[in-house]
């Protein structure tokens, strides 16, 4: 029985890196192939509302649809998400009645309008984080009719001549279900009707009202900004699942819908692959700066990621990896030509021989060795011996590697880089047990390949 080797086949392919002011939203169609309703879920129209865009992202990465279709735009105002701004170019959710072609958001607004008007879309959900806790009558400053948090927003009670047009009745049904799953009684959900058509000129400019005027039932879902991000995302998903059930969609998810599980899913969803997995990095608890990252000479950074909220933006000394509102790390590159001839290497991991492909993570209890491969050179970042240019063929222990060269702040994950002549051939990560620099052997686990 071999020890666990994890190979992540990343689920979200993203465009080449971009400057932070040129990021475009992505559309993810999760389609079952079976007849059913199609919903469009939108997150991140306002970039300072992470509960909404993280929930939308989790729909992409952790849900499968078995009947009907879920279309997700998790990062509508991507530039503002990266900058933690409500709107770098003003409030995008006030640009749907009219937006001049000179507005920097013009193209984004036109693209999402076309999606909203798509004949296939049956229902639209715009995810927000709102202030305080909405109450029909004034209780105090944070619990009043002026607040938006913990509410389902409808612009009007009904949409005429539509089989799903009774938005008020549907919202009240959904509220009753969600209120059975509260983390605290203060978090109770209510329906807030803005009665937009009766003269609310601000709400007339919004995405949901645009949708309604084009014959589409549309609502806003608000989680309270008084709650931590993962609890907001938890409530967004509770509301969305209740609506999906009501609409007859069938789906499954690979996590428990509990607040702690949602937090874990958000925090562990930062994995990045470069150049068809020649380099793979698990970015959980990454160091502030990673230096001498071997990127391809004369090429833009091609990458895939485990989340649609990951972006790589150019910086003065290299690139920055962003994950939603979070700055993950800065990459200071060292440029190489690439060699793609290496398909796998042989490693001895705690006494067991393994075939390992570039882009893998190898769990090591105590020691590893990269077996000598003719024509290739091994460089274990943070480990060295005098006058040794090729570090293959040597047993390497955790306490022999300089901790500050790890990828993560805990000092558990290290880079093993492979070269052919002066060309970069690929990278493998080795991961030691957390909290011990001289870990003892543990019972061997089965060799597993996982997609994530």
| pLDDT score at 12 | 55
Residue 7: how many other CB atoms lie within 10 Å:
18
Is residue 123's pLDDT more than 90? yes
SS3 254: coil
The pLDDT-based confidence of 439 (bands split at 50, 70, 90) is very low
* C-alpha to C-alpha distance for 263 and 227, rounded to whole angstroms: 13
More confident of the two residues 211 and 21: 211
* C-alpha to C-alpha distance for 216 and 211, rounded to whole angstroms: 5
Q: pTM (2 decimals)?
A: 0.91
The CA angle 140-141-143, to the nearest 5 degrees, is 65
| pLDDT score at 21 | 59
| Average pLDDT score over residue span 38-46 | 98
SS3 176: helix
| pLDDT score at 443 | 31
The pLDDT-based confidence of 317 (bands split at 50, 70, 90) is confident
More confident of the two residues 284 and 205: 205
| Average pLDDT score over residue span 299-327 | 92
The pLDDT-based confidence of 449 (bands split at 50, 70, 90) is very low
Label residue 311 left, alpha or beta by phi (over 0 means left) and psi (-120 to 50 means alpha): beta
| Average pLDDT score over residue span 64-83 | 97
Burial of 306-339, coded b for 16+ CB within 10 Å and e otherwise, reads: bbbbbbbbeeeebbbbbbbbbebbbbebeebebb
| pLDDT score at 20 | 53
Is residue 150's pLDDT more than 50? yes
Is residue 448's pLDDT more than 70? no
Tens digits of residue pLDDT in 244-254: 999 999 999 99
- Least confident stretch, 3-7, 161-165, 178-182, 263-267: 3-7
The pLDDT-based confidence of 3 (bands split at 50, 70, 90) is very low
Counts for the chain of helices (H) and strands (E), in that order: 7, 28
Tens digits of residue pLDDT in 257-287: 999 999 999 999 899 999 989 999 999 899 9
- Least confident stretch, 15-24, 229-238, 369-378: 15-24
Tens digits of residue pLDDT in 45-60: 999 999 999 999 999 9
Query: Measured in Å, how far apart are the chain's first and last C-alpha atoms?
Result: 23
Tens digits of residue pLDDT in 398-432: 999 999 999 999 999 999 999 999 999 999 999 99
Is residue 29's pLDDT more than 70? yes
What is the CATH superfamily name and number for domain 32-267?
Answer: Zn peptidases (3.40.630.10)
| Average pLDDT score over residue span 202-218 | 98
* C-alpha to C-alpha distance for 388 and 383, rounded to whole angstroms: 11
Mean pLDDT, the chain, integer: 92
| Average pLDDT score over residue span 20-29 | 85
| pLDDT score at 92 | 98
- CB under 8 Å, gap of 24 or more: what pairs does 108-114 form? 108/24, 108/25, 108/76, 108/77, 111/25, 112/25, 112/42, 112/73, 112/76, 112/207, 113/210
| pLDDT score at 420 | 97
Domain assignments of the chain as residue spans, ordered by start: 32-267, 271-336, 345-431
Q: How far is CA 375 from the centre of its chain?
A: 39
- Sequence-distant (≥ 6) Cβ neighbours of residue 26 within 8 angstroms: 12, 14, 73, 74, 75, 308
């Amino acid at each position: 029985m071999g020890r666990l080797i994890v190979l992540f086949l990343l689920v979200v392919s993203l465009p080449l890196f971009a400057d932070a002011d040129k990021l475009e939203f992505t559309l993810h169609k999760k389609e079952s192939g079976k007849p059913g309703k199609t919903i469009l879920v939108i997150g991140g129209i306002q970039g300072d509302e992470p509960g909404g865009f993280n929930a939308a992202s989790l729909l992409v990465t952790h849900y499968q649809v078995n009947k009907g279709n879920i279309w997700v735009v998790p990062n509508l105002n991507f530039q503002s998400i990266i900058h933690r701004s409500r709107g770098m170019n003003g409030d995008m959710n006030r640009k749907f009645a009219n937006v001049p072609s000179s507005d920097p958001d013009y193209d984004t607004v036109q693209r999402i309008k076309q999606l909203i008007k798509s004949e296939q879309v049956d229902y639209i959900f715009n995810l927000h984080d709102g202030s305080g806790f909405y109450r029909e009558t004034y209780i105090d400053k944070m619990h009043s009719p002026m607040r938006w948090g913990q509410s389902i927003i409808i612009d009007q009670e009904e949409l005429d001549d539509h089989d799903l047009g009774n938005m008020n009745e549907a919202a009240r049904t959904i509220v009753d279900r969600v209120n059975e799953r509260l983390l605290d009684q203060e978090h109770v959900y209510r329906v807030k009707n803005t009665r937009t058509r009766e003269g609310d000129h601000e709400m007339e400019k919004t995405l949901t009202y645009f949708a309604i005027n084009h014959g589409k039932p549309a609502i806003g879902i608000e989680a309270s900004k008084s709650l931590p991000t993962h609890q907001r995302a938890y409530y967004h998903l509770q509301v969305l699942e209740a609506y999906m059930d009501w609409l007859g969609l069938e789906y499954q998810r690979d996590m428990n819908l509990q607040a702690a599980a949602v937090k874990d899913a958000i925090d562990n969803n930062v994995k990045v692959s470069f150049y068809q997995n020649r380099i793979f990095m698990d970015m959980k608890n990454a160091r502030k700066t990673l230096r001498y990252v071997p990127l391809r000479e004369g090429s833009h950074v091609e990458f895939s990621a485990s989340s649609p909220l990951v972006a790589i933006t150019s910086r003065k000394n290299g690139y920055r990896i962003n994950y939603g509102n979070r700055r993950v790390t800065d990459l200071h590159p060292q440029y190489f030509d690439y060699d793609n001839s290496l398909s796998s290497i042989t490693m001895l991991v705690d006494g067991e021989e393994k075939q390992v492909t570039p882009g893998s993570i190898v769990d090591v209890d105590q020691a590893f060795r990269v077996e000598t491969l003719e024509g290739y050179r091994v460089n274990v970042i943070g480990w060295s011996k005098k006058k040794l240019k090729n570090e293959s063929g040597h047993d390497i222990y955790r306490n022999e590697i300089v901790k500050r060269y790890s990828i993560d702040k805990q000092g558990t994950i290290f880079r093993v880089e492979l070269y052919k002549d002066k060309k970069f051939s690929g990278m493998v990560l080795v991961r030691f047990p957390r909290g011990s620099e001289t870990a003892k052997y543990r019972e061997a686990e089965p060799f597993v390949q996982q997609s994530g």
